[in-house]
Structures are given as structure tokens and as C-alpha cells.
Structure 1
């Protein structure tokens, strides 16, 4: 099984799940139907299914056309009844080319957000807009407590889990991360690697859980040094509880330039 990134819009990725023994594919969060249609035509593939992580248009905008064109399965949050053929919730299992994916509800960026986790020899997390390389999603509908809960749950996944998010936000995330964690050698090194990749127009993904735990400020908001620097950026008093600390780091990112 292979995951192939298709660039869409300014900085989105539509992930294609492909199996070498199948002429079919699945698409994750196809915001732009044309991108997937072009891939299917050029590679002579048939779209058999779609996974949706949340309702935002840049993740769902192409679903209706693709569904009509291929008569494929569409799996996602239950309330998207106009788009899906099957709604899923926490711990529901989806099987794609012999590999099982478990739905993980991670409300915060949106209240309907679902990640998909496959615990195989090489675990995979399709993280949508919850966990980015070096960052997390904006709190468009949910609360800091919900996003902190999501980060804490994802931190429990195996360290070697590959993380496939849906935006090329890495360098911007790392600029902020370095402002809070300037002596973090893992972060410094990975930032250099990703800068070189982007200079070649190459993708910086996937990440992995071990790297995120070592470098992502939203998985490290329990560290006093990070909270102190976030508070300084905001001209605030440092937070004293875990939820307030996470919220302070998130606010610092929201206002960072």
C-alpha cells in the first residue's frame, strides 16, 4: 500500500491510498475533484472510496462530483448525510485494501473532526487538520481543552506512526516553534531538512509521532520554558494549568507573524 500526495489549491494535499494489486484507489479529503479526476485518468485508476476528516470546503468540495462520477463509497462524520454513504464515529473500523483504519474523534478544529488510524507493522495516522507537522489546527469550532485532549491521545500512538496531514504548513509552523523552543536540536535539524525540501518544491510529509513529541509545541505545552515564551509573546502572565497553558500557546501561534 502506498500513499500519494496530490497538491490542491494553495497548500492542500489530497492523499491517494493505492494498492499495487488493485486498479482502484481511495482519496482522503478531496477538496478539488479535478485533481483526483486527472490522476485517475493519467494512471488509469478507478476511485473506489473517499475518506472525509471534517466538513470544511477545502476537504469536501470535490466529493459530490467524484461520488457521481465513480459511484464510490464515501465515509466520514455522520452529520454529512448529503455527502456520505457511511457515517463513522469513535472506534468504528474501515477496511481499505486489507488494512483496517480506526476512526478517532478529535473535535477541536471542527466539532466533527475525525482522524483515521491504522495499527499495522508501519502504523499510519490520517490526521486531517488536527495534527500538522510542527503544529495543530486552529480552534475554529472547538476549545483548547478539546485540542489538548486530542494531542494527548495522539501522543499515545506508537512513536513510529507515520502522520499524514493535509496542509503544507511545516515551515510556518517551525518558525513559530523555534520562537518558543530555540535550543531544541531536533527542531533545528528538522527545520533545516524541510527548508531544503521546500527549496526543491518537495513535500515535507509525512511526519511521525516521535518527531512531533520532540518538536511540536502543541505536544510540549506542558513544558514551563515553552509556556513562558508564549506568555512573553502575548504580554501575559504565564498560565498555571495544563489547559490554560495550551490555550496560551495556541493564542501565541494565532498572533505570531
Structure 2
């Protein structure tokens, strides 16, 4: 378990399954303890025992099994309440509280903002707590989620929402995909010195069994190929190399398709 302190809460990062991250958000001023995308109930129970606190809430970013598989067992064990997207409630196991951009959940001791970030799935949401963004499979370290249900335009709109947050926002995504994503990033953005530095630093972290996540939003904007179309120079260069229109969304869509077959 890795832990990160924020102003009003502590984030505990639990590696799970092959490459998942489950997060426990522990409020500093209340008994609130939230599991975000609990893929596995057993490691969450162990972490709660270690902290000496019962789980009070679950927040699901989307319906995929590797984000919701622990819902039922944890609800039975702790009696916690489960929060998920109101527009995708039918696919969230054991859901209790419906939420969305205009109906954020009430979390004692915390101020929560919910963001509609559809693209990976049609019901994908993210949770913003102060300077911490729990974004599921929308944005990864140096990557973004596949478009299983959404369109390139929807995902690009979602990534733009994230990019508008404070650059100091810490990105807590749900998978450790960073090194593989960086290989693709270097293939499409080879002259980016920030990208080369990130690859070296993240390789050292993984060599020492340390997570590359959370990353900072500023770092993602500088090195993540799916946010790089925000930079006009990158967009123009990539578009010329691929013989496509030099428009940010067009470049994003081509990058996503390129990555799918890379």
C-alpha cells in the first residue's frame, strides 16, 4: 500500500489483480473511507483492517468488472453505500446513490465534484476531490482508455475537461500502463525532451517496484500523446507526417486508432 497526503484526506493506493490500482480515500476530519473502483474485495478488506476503519462508501467510475467486482462482497461485509453514474445505474452492481455532474454526492468532510468523461464507456465518470482526480480508465499515465462505447469526439471532449483543471492536479488512474504507453508516445513524439526524461524516471520507479501513478496533470499535458494535440506545434507536425487535417480532434482520433493497432 502506498499513501499520499492531501489537504483534507489521505489516498491509499492498493495494487490489485495484474495491473489495477484501487484507491482508499480516508478523510482527515470524519470517519469517511471511500474505495474507488474496488476490483477485488479481499485487498480492500485487508487495507481497512490495517487502517482500523470500516469502509463507508464505494465510488465506481464505470461498470467494467475490473472496477466493480468487489462491490457486492464489500457492501455485504461493511454495509457501505455504493455511488455510481445516474445515467449508467443499471450496470453498476448494488448501486445506492446516483450521481453526475449536476448531482455530486455528499461526502462528510470532503467537497466532491463529479465529471462526465464518457468515451471509454458511455457512462464513465470521474471524481475530483480538491487536487486529486480519480479518472478510472479515461486518462492513464501517458495514455487514455480505448473507445469501447464512445466516439473520438466524446473522448476528446472529456480529455479537454480534464486538461482545464489545475496543472497541479494529481491523476489517480486505475491501471499501471505507463511504461507501455511511453513506448508509443516516443514513437509518435520522438523529439520531446520531457517525454524522454519521463521514460527514464518512470523506468527507475518500476525497477524498484514503485508506482508511476499518481502523475501530475502538467506532466501529462507535456508528455501524454492523447493530450499533446492541445499543442498547436505538435498537431501541425503530426498531421503533416500522417497527411491528415491539422485539427486537434482529427489528430487525437488518428492517434487513438494508431495506438489501437500499434
One of 32, 41, 52 as aligned partner of 1:44 = 52
Q: What is the match of residue 112 of structure 2?
A: 101
- State whether residues 220 and 226 of structure 1, in contact with CA within 8 Å, keep that contact through their aligned partners in structure 2: no
Q: Are residue 151 (structure 1) and residue 163 (structure 2) matched?
A: no
Q: What is the match of residue 18 of structure 1?
A: 26
- State whether residues 32 and 108 of structure 2, in contact with CA within 8 Å, keep that contact through their aligned partners in structure 1: no
**Inter-partner Cα distance in structure 1 for 2:240 and 2:43:** 44
Give the gaps of 5 or more residues in structure 1.
232-236
Q: What is the match of residue 208 of structure 2?
A: 200
Q: What is the match of residue 234 of structure 1?
A: none
**Inter-partner Cα distance in structure 2 for 1:209 and 1:246:** 18
**Counterparts in 2 of 1:67-146, with a 5 A limit?**
67-78=75-86, 79-81=88-90, 82-118=93-129, 120=130, 123-146=131-154
- Helix, strand or coil: the match of 2:18? coil
| 1:152-197 deviations in Å (ceiling 9; x for gaps) | 1111111111111010011011111111111211111111110000
**Inter-partner Cα distance in structure 2 for 1:197 and 1:138:** 25
Greater mean deviation of Cα atoms: 36-45 or 2-11: 36-45
TM-score normalised by the chain length of structure 2:
0.89
After superposition, the CA RMSD in angstroms is 1.6
Distance 1:99 1:23, change over 3 A: closer
- Helix, strand or coil: the match of 1:46? coil
**Inter-partner Cα distance in structure 2 for 1:32 and 1:80:** 20
- State whether residues 132 and 169 of structure 2, in contact with CA within 8 Å, keep that contact through their aligned partners in structure 1: yes
- State whether residues 23 and 44 of structure 1, in contact with CA within 8 Å, keep that contact through their aligned partners in structure 2: no
- State whether residues 19 and 25 of structure 1, in contact with CA within 8 Å, keep that contact through their aligned partners in structure 2: yes
- State whether residues 91 and 104 of structure 1, in contact with CA within 8 Å, keep that contact through their aligned partners in structure 2: no
Greater mean deviation of Cα atoms: 199-208 or 87-96: 87-96
Give the gaps of 5 or more residues in structure 2.
1-8
- Helix, strand or coil: the match of 1:126? strand
- Helix, strand or coil: the match of 2:168? coil
- Counting matched residue pairs gives 247
Deviation at 1:151, TM superposition (A): 1.2
Q: What is the match of residue 244 of structure 1?
A: 250
One of 222, 225, 228 as aligned partner of 2:237 = 225
Q: Are residue 5 (structure 1) and residue 13 (structure 2) matched?
A: yes
**Inter-partner Cα distance in structure 2 for 1:69 and 1:188:** 46
Deviation at 1:21, TM superposition (A): 5.2
| 1:11-68 deviations in Å (ceiling 9; x for gaps) | 0000111134555521000011111112122332200111100000000011011011
TM-score normalised by the chain length of structure 1:
0.90
